[in-house]
Amino acid sequence: MSFTKAMWDELNLILKFPQSSMMQGIKIHHDADSDVIKAAERLFDKGIITQPDGGYLTDLGHDLVEHASRLESALASQSASVT
């Protein structure tokens, strides 16, 4: 199984949420890129964020952002050592 474009968009959006506090969120504006707007709506439908235009991470969202951050960090450091 491979990540789809939609999954990448969702992962990238999850990584934009502040990780330092459960009381901080983001707002996706109506003039944002359509892929970002759609990703936010899918994350909301999956119960990962609290609003279809951002809001806060749910408990599941906090778990996922932690995993996504580790994945991003591992891949970034791996690519840096290969080049």
pLDDT string in tens for the chain (83-residue length): 899 999 999 999 999 998 877 788 999 999 999 999 999 999 999 999 999 999 999 999 999 999 999 998 998 975 555 55
pLDDT score, position 80: 56
pLDDT score, position 22: 76
Range of the domain at 27: 5-82
pLDDT score, position 79: 55
**Rounded Cα gap, residues 62 and 81, in angstroms:** 29
pLDDT score, position 27: 96
Quick one: tokens of 58? 């749910």
Number of domains in the chain: 1
Give the type of residue at 40.
A
Give the type of residue at 59.
D
Residues paired with residue 54 on neighbouring β-strands, in sequence order: 27, 51
